[in-house]
Amino acid sequence: MPPGRIKILKAERVLYLMKGKQKIQSFPIGLGFNPTDDKIKLGDGCTPEGRFYICETLKFRPASAVYGPVSFRISYPNVEDARRALRAKLITRKQYLSIVKGIDKGVMPNQRTPLGGSIKIHGGDY
């Protein structure tokens, strides 16, 4: 059986924990101020679309009033985001290669580009 995964339906504002094709649990979610579009660059208020992995777990003690006790940073930008941005001349070739290198290694991709970063799944008061 493949490992568990997270599936997010932006229009329904719900996050599902999945095991194979089975929904194990669901949670309501909040999104940025532009929730329908795919994230393109820093500050656009969009939620990324695509396949990502959790590349960092952050624990807060005491629990953050805003984000809860734990947050999970996802691997945004992914290779597709970087490729699109390179074609649109939003990032340099060096930035593109640094993102791809991080993804290839399964670590956090470069978070300091015009694409933005530090996208997290976290708790909070919605």
95-124 confidence digits (pLDDT tens):
999 999 999 999 999 999 999 999 998 876
DSSP state of 10: T
pLDDT at 125: 59
Query: Which of 14-18, 26-30, 92-96 tops mean pLDDT?
Result: 92-96
Beta carbons of 29 and 23 less than 8 angstroms apart: no
For 85, counting Cβ atoms within 10 Å of its Cβ (0-12 exposed, 13-18 middle, 19+ buried), the class is: buried
Contacts of 120 (CB under 8 A, 6+ apart): 58, 67, 71, 72, 73, 74
Q: What confidence tens digit (pLDDT) does each residue in 67-93 have?
A: 778 889 999 999 999 999 999 999 999
Report which secondary-structure segment, H or E, holds 85: helix 79-87
pTM of the model: 0.84
Q: What mean pLDDT, rounded, does the chain reach?
A: 90
